[in-house]
Each structure stands twice: as C-alpha cells, then as structure tokens.
Amino acid sequence: MPYDPSAFPPFAVTVDLVVLTVRRHALCALVVRRGEAPYQGMWALPGGFVRADEDLASAAARELTEETGLRAHEQDNRTPGAHLEQLATYGDPDRDPRMRVVSVAHLALAPDLPSPTPGGDARSARWAQADALLGFGDSDGESKTPLAFDHDEILAAGVERARSKIEYSSLATAFCPPEFTVGELRRVYEAVWGVALDPRNFHRKVTGTPGFLVPSGGTTTRQGGRPAQLFRAGGATLLNPPMLRPEA
C-alpha cells in the first residue's frame, strides 16, 4: 500500500482525561456535565481537541490545567502537581455521532484538592466515586448512570490501570501531598483497591523498600494518635518486590 499523505481520511483528534483522586477514603474521578448535543446533560470525562501545533502530552496537560488548575509532571513526583500518562486510544468509527474522532485517553492522578468543585470552567464539574460511576456503588448494578460516548469504557481502563500500577510502582504517592505519613499512604492503597491492609506489615514493607520513601524529618499528628513520621516519595519508581494486592 503506497503511503500517500495527500489522500487520507480526515480525523479529529482529542484527548480525554481520567483524573483520579482519593477523597474521604474513596477513589474518585472527575466528571463534567455536557452542555450541548450529543449526550447533552450527561456526565462525561473532561477533554478537548488537540491543537494543530501541540503534541499529545501537552494537550492532555493543558486540559488538566484547565479543568483542575493542576500542573502535570510526567516523571518525578517530588514537585507538587499531578502524575500524567497516556492510557489508550479509542477510535471506533461511530464513537462520536457527528464525525470521525480518535481520542487519546490519558490518566491523571492527583492529591486531594482543596476546592470541592475543581477548575474555573463554566461547566459544572464534580468528583464522583469511581465505584458509583462504574456501577459498583449500589446493590443494584443496573441503576448506574452511564457516561457519554465510550467514556465508561475509558474510565474503567483508567481505574484498572491505576489499581494495577500501584502494585509495582511508587505511583500511589501521586495521590498524596508532597509530604505524607505511612498511614496516609496506606489509606490510599486501601481506597484504590477497596480492601483493608494490615498497618504493621504495610509499614514494614514500604519503609523497608530502598528508595521508595525518604524521611523528610518532620512529624505530624493530623491523623490523631501517636505522631507519625513525614516522608516524601523517593527516587525509586519501580517496586521490586511489588506490593501485592490481596486476591479478589
């Protein structure tokens, strides 16, 4: 097949964002309400067109900043901001009824934000529990409200990526503020996985993995009880051996 750049089918390319955080001991995703057709009035993932002179990561970072005010840092997690990585690309011919749109989905992990309604955008936006969006919140799994387009599928992929990736990487620290305690990090794992972990074994595991956590020197009592050491994320991004998720 000759590679003919002058005769190609035209596509629109967008980025969609799965922005996850941990609030009130639950994994939450950012959703925005659609103001226009199609799917008017339904909740959707934030996103938008990739501009003509912009690469995909920049477009995702720009959308993230527009929606949440967060800056993205793709590699180190020592500066404040959100972790951002590419997730997967969705391009079914009829995923958007108006035209052919290919969406490059990205996953962003953010610490709990002070503002309850994030972003300065005019559209209404909210944090919704991931389990509720995915239909696991109610006893009746059928009563969930679907997201617009194929965003349920994208959200599910993002949540699963986050759940599996914190097993073998230090990504869980992306849900924490720059300084955090071992207990706070453990509550992140518990919220993301939806399980209870043994605090003593967890403590020994994370403090015993070289390069995972480095003490910042301070302590805090913000969780009550005995003061806990404050840590920052260390340089190690891959955990070996991994933190094992208790079997489902």
Partner DNA sequence: GCAATAGTGTCTATTAGACAATATTTC
Partner DNA sequence: GAAATATTGTCTAATAGACACTATTGC
> Contact residues for DNA (CB under 7 A)?
181-184, 198-201, 203-205, 207, 219, 221, 223-229, 241, 244, 246
Q: Which is nearer to its own copies, 99 or 225 (CB)?
A: 99
SS3 state at 121 = coil
Which tokens hold the place of 99?
A: 């035209």
Cα separation, 60 vs 203, in Å, equals 35
Which of 54, 112, 153, 179: binder of its own copies (CB under 8 A)? 54
Distance in Å, CB of 247 to DNA, minimum = 8
| Selected range binding its own copies among 91-99, 124-132, 198-206, 207-215, rule: CB under 8 A | 91-99
DSSP secondary structure letter of residue 127: E
Decide: 111 and 20 in contact? Cβ < 8 Å.
Answer: no
Choose from DNA, its own copies, none: what does 2 bind? Cβ within 5-8 Å by kind: its own copies
Decide: 144 and 135 in contact? Cβ < 8 Å.
Answer: yes
| Upstream peptide bond of 38 is cis (omega within 30 degrees of 0) | yes
> Residue 200 interacts with its own copies (CB under 8 A)?
no
Distance in Å, CB of 196 to DNA, minimum = 9
Cα separation, 112 vs 27, in Å, equals 10
Which of 25, 51, 71, 222: binder of its own copies (CB under 8 A)? 51
> Residue 226 interacts with its own copies (CB under 8 A)?
no
Please name the residues in contact with 222: beta carbons below 8 A apart, sequence gap of 6 or more: none
Q: Which is nearer to DNA, 28 or 228 (CB)?
A: 228
Q: Which is nearer to DNA, 98 or 200 (CB)?
A: 200
> What is the identity of the amino acid at 205?
K
| Selected range binding its own copies among 93-101, 124-132, 134-142, 207-215, rule: CB under 8 A | 93-101
Q: Which is nearer to DNA, 169 or 181 (CB)?
A: 181
Distance in Å, CB of 187 to DNA, minimum = 8
Bridge partners (DSSP) listed for residue 84: 108
DSSP secondary structure letter of residue 172: G
> Residue 1 interacts with its own copies (CB under 8 A)?
yes
Within the chain, what is the greatest distance between any pair of CA atoms?
A: 69
